[in-house]
Amino acid sequence: MEYVYAALLLHKEKKEINEANITNIIKASGATVNEAQVKALIAALADVNIEEAIKAAPVAVAAAPAAAPAAGGAKEDKKEAETPAKNEEQAMEGLSALFG
């Protein structure tokens, strides 16, 4: 995941997303660099328009705290409990778009 973050950071700062820059960011974070992962990320991002992928990615919304359930509120509680998981799945699908 840190490799994707590094690519997003480089994109935000309008720097070239290449092996050297990704490696430098990972090293600066104190993590150990896996060269194979760096190469795989660069290859996966070769044909991806990151700006478009970010715009297309759904934004995960934090669930509001549940109010005291009213009579017959069990169905509503179940629906609210499923919503955060569904939002997380959608967010992960959006991230996978970065990899083509």
Least confident span in 2-6, 23-27, 64-68: 64-68
Query: Looking at the chain, which residues constitute the CATH 1.10.10.1410 domain(s)?
Result: 1-46
As a three-state string, the secondary structure of 16-78 is CCCHHHHHHHHHHCCCCCCHHHHHHHHHHHCCCCHHHHHHHCCCCCCCCCCCCCCCCCHHHHH
Mean pLDDT lowest among 22-31, 41-50, 54-63? 54-63
What's at 12, amino acid-wise?
K
Answering whether pTM is above 0.95, one says no
Average pLDDT, integer, range 57-77: 59
* pLDDT, averaged across the chain: 78
33 CB neighbour count, 10 Å cutoff = 17
Percent of the chain with pLDDT over 90: 45
CATH 1.10.10.1410 applies to domain 1-46:
yes
